[in-house]
A and B are shown apart, each in its own frame.
Chain A
Amino acid sequence: MHNDTHVAAVRKFAAVCAILEKYEYKPEKLVPILQQVQEEYRYLPEDVMAYIATALRISPARVYGVATFYSHFALEPKGKYVIKVCDGTACHVKGSNPLLTEIRNKLSLGAKQHTTSDLLFTLETVSCLGACGIAPVVVVNEEVHSLMTPGKTAAMIDAIIGKEKVEDEQHA
């Protein structure tokens, strides 16, 4: 039993070790290190941040400070599908708010809750994706959806949920 947790811990930190190695344990590379760690774990677990601090010989407070400063970093797990609604000026004047309302209603998310309880969706707003010519824009993971309407947004979410159901059934 003790052995098992040990193995799990080693596995958990193996990935972060490889990333630290790649950046030669340089504290000035903290931002790219955290970016890669987040890519690996989908968020920044507290123990991993503490580990990074020790490995780089900087205080955990500095790592935590950087992690909370930049909006890209997440301290809680994100959903499998990250929906980013652009709220840049162009998207804003062309109606990004109704899209947000539609998604929040559809996924039963409150104002403070960003991730659905089944960890399938995370809803975020971004200030500008630079795709203003095709506003309003919604991005799901890497896929950009242009000229969105509440109707199209709802259909998009339904399609993802449908796809997930099919995959679940295939697994079962």
Chain B
Amino acid sequence: MNSMPDLKNIASEFSELYSQVNRRVIICAGTGCMANGAQKIKNEFLHIANLTGLKFETELRKEEERFDLLTGSGCQGFCQMGPLVTVEPEGIFYIKVKPEDVAEIVAETVMHGRPVERLLYHNTAGKPCKTAENINFYKKQTRRVLKDCGNINPEDIREYIHRGGYSAAEKALKEMSPVDVCDEILNSGLRGRGGGGFPTGRKWALAQSQKSDKKYIICNGDEGDPGAFMDRSVMEGNPHSVIEGMLIAAHAIGADEGYVYVRLEYPLAVKRIKKAVEVALEYGILGDNIFGTGKSFRVNVMEGAGAFVCGEETALISSIEGKRGMPNPKPPFPAQSGLFGKPTIINNVETLAMVPGIIRNGAAEFRQTGTKDSPGTKTFALTGHVVNTGLIEVPFGTTLREIIFDIGGGVIGNDGEIDPDGFKAVQIGGPSGGCLTAAHLDLPLSFDSLRSIGAMVGSGGLVVMNRSTCMVRIAKYFMEFTQNESCGKCVPCREGTRQMLSLLEDITEGKADEHTLEILDQLGKAITKASLCGLGKTAPNPVLSLLTLFREEMEIHVTQQRCPAKECKALLTPVVLEEKCKGCGLCIKKCPVGAISGEKKQPHFINEELCIKCGACIEACRLDAISEGV
């Protein structure tokens, strides 16, 4: 079908085919649900259909009689509760489905539309929720980008078109000039969702004004922040929305070639994007003379090779050019001289996926949600010590309290049970971001509000931590990460992060003193000022943020050599539990420094001043009579 695509026709054909469907079973096929066994559920449905003679189709085609449809979907966000199964049109929503539940779902729900109560989500009051909309996790969200993820079949372009997909691209290409498109995006106030929050419209206008025979659009899907998976979910769940965004961007700046750069750690996203590009080409939505406008646009898909720094735009460009992924100084900005020296726009996946909606419904509509300086919605990956982990989308201006307690369902302790007073901190923005504490629970989240307190939206990872988490170890964890991922090009980042890491190690191993914190602070500020790229400039953020917000906890580590959360093993002095100790003397023999004393058959005693905290006594004791201590 290489002729001009007729979107209306495709949509109405789809509706007609869809009218043959009795019920539709949607199995979430995101990475989370697949890991929890979604494929087995799908096989079981087909198996049961075979046994009962039920007509189950996996593809929408013209059939002789009405049938039930079984499709996969992208990530629905409620990963922890997977595998998720939804039955339409009732929207009955099942969680943690096992293969042995399938027969009952078929007999009750698929055949008669009746819910199977035991498989429904039960809220905290113990009441079953029939549909997803009744569940707090979903009810409190505003799903725009994620709306169709988890709803449509990501591998069927017709369904995307049926939902209004590619109509924005058609409108932009046929009815709007490149300047009009740039203006509309600028007016919408859309800001880059990849971390920096730079106004997208301004970036586009800069590239648009460049004179060049060749320009490029790059979609940055190198989502490397540990604890973030929004972009993965969009690429897996609604790949066409990303391609449509790229097509509109291409028209706006006058590009005819694009790249989608995806992490290779996301094999499913790679597969879905590749397939979507192929199909779009088949439908004439990519290629030459798109919508009869004479415009051409082609998309290449490139897999990363495992380098966090490639999320930085100039490093990403080097990587596509077949070089080591190292950043270059700006200016010139990629919009002036980017890929192969040509003007290039690099936008994050989520940013591009927002573009079609803005063109379709207008900038004013987009501004109705969110705050004045940060309009629209933002997706967050909510993880860590929280009841409901998963992918969420909320308007800017939502508070942490709403996210953690209403959507997330509250904080859990290490035993997995709800702990009402357990909240300690949230890490936002990954290795470039900072921490938020209980004092920030009511702060409306936006690009600027977060920046003002030394944190950042980043790509949107929200990791909740409970009170048994040691903040120094979290800082050390992030520093290990950035130190490992530092590309080595500039000295402040390469050497500075190494020094910061060893200072943090000193703290967790009890070798630090009060000067350590001061040196950390100075070093961090120097790295922020002197590094070449965004990775280095933001690398000290997690540490600097802790130095301000958790000063007391850090000071206890360095002055009293104590870890309040009891996570730094080297700072714990073992203690003999008198009621358990039988006085066998085994620990006395094992102690390398002679710190343990005691009479035979009497509880022993550990001398804190001599103890080197090696843990030999804990290992030696056969009665578990020595605890890790305080």
A contact residues vs B (CB 8 Å cutoff)? 26-32, 34-35, 62, 65-66, 69-73, 87-90, 92-94, 126-135, 137, 142, 144-146
Contact A128 B319 (CB under 8 A): no
Residues of B within 8 A of A134 (CB): 32, 35-36, 79-80, 82, 389
CA distance A47 to B585 in the complex (A): 61
Known: A31-B319, A127-B481. A87 touches B324 (CB 8 A): no
Interface residues of B in 182-228 (CB under 8 A from A): 223-228
Tell me, rounded to whole Å, the shortest Cβ–Cβ distance linking B49 to chain A. Answer: 26
Contact B306 A90 (CB under 8 A): no
B332 close to A (CB within 8 Å): no
Known: A31-B322, A145-B35. A93 touches B469 (CB 8 A): yes
Identify the 5 closest CB pairs spanning chains A and B, nearest first.
A133-B79, A130-B229, A88-B226, A70-B305, A89-B227
Residues of B within 8 A of A88 (CB): 226-227
Contact A35 B324 (CB under 8 A): no
- A70 is contacted by which of B36, B229, B307, B340 (Cβ under 8 Å)? B307
- A130 is contacted by which of B80, B266, B324, B430 (Cβ under 8 Å)? B266
Tell me, rounded to whole Å, the shortest Cβ–Cβ distance linking A160 to chain B. Answer: 17
Contact B225 A128 (CB under 8 A): yes
Residue of A nearest to B468 (CB): A93
B398 close to A (CB within 8 Å): no
Known: A89-B463, A93-B465. A131 touches B229 (CB 8 A): yes
Tell me, rounded to whole Å, the shortest Cβ–Cβ distance linking A112 to chain B. Answer: 15
Task: Provide 9 A-B residue pairs closer than 8 Å at the C-beta atoms, listed in order of the A residue.
Answer: A35-B264, A35-B305, A70-B307, A87-B226, A93-B384, A131-B32, A131-B35, A132-B389, A137-B35
Tell me, rounded to whole Å, the shortest Cβ–Cβ distance linking B33 to chain A. Answer: 9
- B305 is contacted by which of A27, A73, A131, A133 (Cβ under 8 Å)? A73
Residues of A within 8 A of B35 (CB): 131, 134, 137, 144-146
Contact A131 B485 (CB under 8 A): no
CA distance A129 to B266 in the complex (A): 7
B374 close to A (CB within 8 Å): no
Supplied contacts A28-B321, A92-B477, A135-B383, 19 more A-B pairs, CB within 8 Å: A27-B322, A28-B322, A31-B305, A35-B264, A35-B303, A69-B324, A70-B325, A72-B264, A72-B306, A90-B227, A93-B463, A93-B474, A127-B308, A130-B228, A132-B79, A133-B78, A133-B391, A134-B36, A144-B34
Interface residues of B in 413-446 (CB under 8 A from A): 427, 430
CA distance A134 to B233 in the complex (A): 14
Tell me, rounded to whole Å, the shortest Cβ–Cβ distance linking B467 to chain A. Answer: 12
Residues of A within 8 A of B306 (CB): 70-73, 126
Tell me, rounded to whole Å, the shortest Cβ–Cβ distance linking A171 to chain B. Answer: 29
B461 close to A (CB within 8 Å): yes
Contact count band on B: 35 or more
Interface residues of B in 355-395 (CB under 8 A from A): 381, 383-385, 389-391
- A132 is contacted by which of B34, B303, B381 (Cβ under 8 Å)? B381
- A128 is contacted by which of B80, B227, B326, B384 (Cβ under 8 Å)? B227
Contact B31 A144 (CB under 8 A): yes
Interface centre among A28, A34, A93 (most CB of B within 10 A): A93
Contact B305 A34 (CB under 8 A): yes
CA distance A94 to B325 in the complex (A): 31
Known: A89-B384, A90-B383. A129 touches B305 (CB 8 A): no
CA distance A90 to B320 in the complex (A): 30
Residues of B within 8 A of A32 (CB): 302-303
B232 close to A (CB within 8 Å): yes
Residue of A nearest to B35 (CB): A144
Residue-wise, chain B 251-279 has the 8 Å CB interface mask toward A (1 for contact) of: 00000000000001111000000000000
Contact A93 B228 (CB under 8 A): no
Known: A89-B477, A127-B226, A133-B79. A69 touches B307 (CB 8 A): yes
- A127 is contacted by which of B34, B224, B304, B384 (Cβ under 8 Å)? B224
Interface centre among A73, A88, A144 (most CB of B within 10 A): A88
B118 close to A (CB within 8 Å): no
Residues of B within 8 A of A130 (CB): 31, 223, 228-229, 232-233, 265-266
Contact A93 B385 (CB under 8 A): yes
Residues of A within 8 A of B226 (CB): 87-90, 92, 127-128
CA distance A52 to B113 in the complex (A): 61
Residue of B nearest to A95 (CB): B414
Residues of A within 8 A of B381 (CB): 132-133
Residues of B within 8 A of A69 (CB): 307, 324-326, 487
CA distance A145 to B385 in the complex (A): 20
CA distance A31 to B264 in the complex (A): 12
Tell me, rounded to whole Å, the shortest Cβ–Cβ distance linking B207 to chain A. Answer: 21
Residues of B within 8 A of A26 (CB): 322
Residue of B nearest to A138 (CB): B35
Tell me, rounded to whole Å, the shortest Cβ–Cβ distance linking B474 to chain A. Answer: 8
Contact B307 A94 (CB under 8 A): no
Tell me, rounded to whole Å, the shortest Cβ–Cβ distance linking B222 to chain A. Answer: 12
Known: A72-B305, A133-B32. A128 touches B265 (CB 8 A): yes
CA distance A69 to B488 in the complex (A): 10
- A133 is contacted by which of B383, B477, B487 (Cβ under 8 Å)? B383
CA distance A35 to B265 in the complex (A): 13
- A89 is contacted by which of B32, B320, B326, B427 (Cβ under 8 Å)? B427
Residue-wise, chain B 286-324 has the 8 Å CB interface mask toward A (1 for contact) of: 000000000000000011111110000000000111111
Residue of A nearest to B263 (CB): A130
Tell me, rounded to whole Å, the shortest Cβ–Cβ distance linking B314 to chain A. Answer: 15
- B485 is contacted by which of A73, A127, A132 (Cβ under 8 Å)? A127
Contact B390 A89 (CB under 8 A): no
Residues of B within 8 A of A92 (CB): 226, 477
Tell me, rounded to whole Å, the shortest Cβ–Cβ distance linking B172 to chain A. Answer: 30
CA distance A143 to B313 in the complex (A): 31
Contact B325 A142 (CB under 8 A): no
Residues of A within 8 A of B340 (CB): 28
CA distance A144 to B266 in the complex (A): 12
Tell me, rounded to whole Å, the shortest Cβ–Cβ distance linking B403 to chain A. Answer: 15
Contact A146 B32 (CB under 8 A): yes
CA distance A89 to B223 in the complex (A): 14
CA distance A73 to B264 in the complex (A): 12
CA distance A29 to B79 in the complex (A): 36
Residues of B within 8 A of A72 (CB): 264, 304-306
Contact B487 A132 (CB under 8 A): no
Tell me, rounded to whole Å, the shortest Cβ–Cβ distance linking A8 to chain B. Answer: 29
Known: A87-B226, A89-B226, A134-B36. A126 touches B265 (CB 8 A): yes
Residue of B nearest to A127 (CB): B226
Contact B305 A89 (CB under 8 A): no
Tell me, rounded to whole Å, the shortest Cβ–Cβ distance linking B41 to chain A. Answer: 15
CA distance A128 to B383 in the complex (A): 12
Known: A70-B307, A130-B223. A89 touches B264 (CB 8 A): no
Contact A90 B322 (CB under 8 A): no
Tell me, rounded to whole Å, the shortest Cβ–Cβ distance linking A48 to chain B. Answer: 16
Residues of A within 8 A of B322 (CB): 26-31, 66
Tell me, rounded to whole Å, the shortest Cβ–Cβ distance linking A70 to chain B. Answer: 4
Interface residues of B in 539-579 (CB under 8 A from A): none
Residues of A within 8 A of B478 (CB): 89
Residue of A nearest to B488 (CB): A69
CA distance A28 to B340 in the complex (A): 10
